[in-house]
A and B are shown apart, each in its own frame.
Chain A
Amino acid sequence: SQTIHQWPATLVQPVGSPLSLECTVEGTSNPNLYWYRQAAGRGLQLLFYSVGIGQISSEVPQNLSASRPQDRQFILSSKKLLLSDSGFYLCAWSPRSGLNEQFFGPGTRLTVL
């Protein structure tokens, strides 16, 4: 069966510090991968998605970037965090083909102080 991991689970970082959040998927190949941010426990905002290694699409302009160095690894980064980057970050995957749902990881709670 497939599983999706995210780490760290929680993170407290000062303003201006760098960020690296990691997401890995097991038990599948060639997945689509997604990064979302959820602010104030409500709506989800799609930040990035990837359909293959090195292929990243950005949905909104922001202080963040994403990379996919391996088929089942998706990384969310920032060079300098802002207060507004605080939130709950969710990674998700879906099979490449077909009309499939997305499967979500456990999330990372980021607090920027």
Chain B
Amino acid sequence: AQSVAQPEDQVNVAEGNPLTVKCTYSVSGNPYLFWYVQYPNRGLQFLLKYITGDNLVKGSYGFEAEFNKSQTSFHLKKPSALVSDSALYFCAVRDPGGGNKLTFGTGTQLKVEL
């Protein structure tokens, strides 16, 4: 069965510094990977996805993610963090079975401080 691991419960960075939120995956077949962000008491917002092609994927709000097949990783990055980026971030992998289902990681709380 497919799975996603987000090894850090929380990541703290200073505003203006680069940020990385880690994600590793396990899936049979081609990996289709997604990042979402969730603000308190809100639904999840889609940030970006990797389907095929370039290993560096650019998404919303200045975020990007780097797909690394050999390390089975899909880390989320941003060159310069903002306080408003503070939120809960989820990595997800598409289920190879039917229904376009996603398996989510447990989430990483990002805190950006002044």
Contact = CB atoms under 8 A, between A and B. Distances in A.
Contacts of A41: 40, 88
B107 A43 contact: yes
Question: Which of A94, A100, A106: most chain B CB closer than 10 A?
Answer: A100
A104 interface: yes
Contact of A43 (B36, B100, B105): B105
B46 A103 contact: yes
B99 A51 contact: yes
Nearest to A93: B100
Interface residues of A, number: 26
A96 B107 CA distance: 26
Contacts, number: 53
Contact of B107 (A34, A42, A99, A102): A42
B49 to A, nearest CB: 6
Interface residues of B, number: 24
A83 B32 CA distance: 36
Contacts of B40: 41
B88 A94 contact: no
Interface string A85-113: 00010101011100111111111010000
Interface of B: 32, 34, 36, 40-46, 49, 51, 88, 90, 94, 98-102, 104-107
